[in-house]
Amino acid sequence: MMSERVKCLIIGSGPAGYTAAIYAARANMNPVLYQGIQPGGQLTITTEVENYPGYPDGVQGPEMMIDFEKQAKKMGADIRYGIATKVDFTGPVHKIEIDEKEWIEADTVIISTGASAKWLNLESEQRLNGYGVSACAVCDGFFFKGKEVAIVGAGDTACEEASYLSKLASNVHMIVRKNEEGMRASKVMQERVKNTGNIKVYWNSETDEVLGENKVEGVRIKNVVSGEKQEIPLNAFFVAIGHKPNSDIFKDWLQLDDAGYIITQPGTSKTNIEGVFAAGDVQDKIYRQAVTAAGSGCMAALDAERYLTEKGIH
């Protein structure tokens, strides 16, 4: 079967991927972008975005991603549905399998596959996902104004989200697996949680089950020291135990850190393989913002353009 040959292939369609496509298209690199499993990325499960420059009244996450896509298309990017399922980075021409059926050859590849929320992997959590279970307090907290909610996690994100929820919910029940000494969050975030009257922390506790048939009605937690269980009536259950970068198909080829994030050369988007670049949350575990992802997408397109020029590929 004949494979298609492209100058620039972009994998993933959040702010990083779309920005890379805008820059690559304007540089006459004729980019092809595959949108991946979640077109628009994590922003499509975010409601109000108020911190992206240029939107003084805020913008809905999905709407913003439609704007990005429209702009990339207008500049001439070829936007396609499809998922990268395998890669072969052996030679100077990079091969990428799409939807387990066709292969594309690319002179440059920009990886912007993002990251996905981690879950506890409880049957009840998956069954009630979208019915009171959420991995994004900032997206969905609004729906539970004045209600009882719980959040699981012990890092800065969990503390930030607990603080955010405390302004909306009547009470926030924070479930932390370790004791106070073992909490991962920075001291300032821990203090903020402790000083918020309507946040109650359950130390040494893990989630045994989310309760409810068709919607969240409570949570059963277990004390890991005493083994004692207790049930807390709730309307929403938020999971904030971190993110996993979507980098599995690259692990045999690219250098990843311990958490699976693609390692890029400092100050660039370059990976350990020539002509392969990474942008956005798949390589950024520190900032993870739409605006930093977009910035790194720009870097990746400029790095890819320079690479093509150096190789004399027009």
Q: Could you list the active site residues?
A: 136, 139-140
Who contacts 253 (Cβ-Cβ below 8 Å, separation ≥6)? Answer: 87, 89, 273, 276
CA atoms of 94 and 221, how far apart (whole Å): 49
CA atoms of 111 and 126, how far apart (whole Å): 28
Residue 221's beta-bridge partner residues? Answer: 207, 230
CA atoms of 48 and 51, how far apart (whole Å): 9
Three-state SS for 165? helix
Closest CA relative to residue 111, chosen from 257, 313, 291, 299: 299
Residue 244's beta-bridge partner residues? Answer: 116
The gap between the terminal CA atoms of the chain, to the nearest Å, is 25
